Amino acid sequence: MTDVIVLNGGSSSGKTSIARSLQELLPSLWLTLGTDTFVAALPSADAGIEFGADGTVTVGPEFRTVEAAWIAGVAAMAAAGARIVVDEVFLGGAASQARWRTALAAHGLDVLWVAVRCAPEVAARREAARGDRITGMAVKQAESVHVGVAYDVEVDTGSSGAEVCAREIAERVG
């Protein structure tokens, strides 16, 4: 039985919309937690994360320490019985997945790894329409977050809506 669904994709790729659709589609209660939840919990200054004017995101060791605690906490919640959709941006590609994989495996959790893709120009249009993101972030992350990452399912929100993508993912949830 799937305990955790990890949605990985760049900014404005459609992860949050898919997560909300999954919550409606799946027969049991699923929590959605992710990078936006984590970043919102950080203090506004000196959090070890920097957002460049060009959309570049840089993180330091202090951020990584707190991120490791966050990941361990999400894994512990899933181990305690909460089914969780993780809405994530693997800034470090395969290294980011490895951090999640290690924490989730330590609890013996069944994980469905999902690539949420869309063309960079589609993500850029969404980013501009949202107005709450740094211009350029979506384009910078569209491909880089997937480098070296292994997936069970890949969906493309540029060619299919969030609901269609969520149904495709839900079919793989055990």
Contacts of residue 81, Cβ cutoff 8 Å, sequence gap at least 6: none
Which residue is associated with the tokens 């060009």?
54
Cα–Cα distance between 8 and 151 in angstroms, integer?
Answer: 9
103 Ramachandran zone, left/alpha/beta (phi>0; psi -120 to 50): alpha
Beta bridge partners of 85: 5, 32
Handedness of CA 165, 167, 168, 174 (dihedral sign): positive
| The total number of residues written for the chain in this structure | 174
* 35, 92 contact by CB (below 8 A): no
Give the bridge partners for 153, in sequence order: 114
Are 127 and 12 spatial neighbours (Cβ–Cβ below 8 Å)? yes
- Catalytic, 36? Answer yes
The whole-angstrom separation of Cα 128 and Cα 24 is 27
Active-site pick, 3, 36, 110, 156: 36
Which residues are known to be catalytic? 36
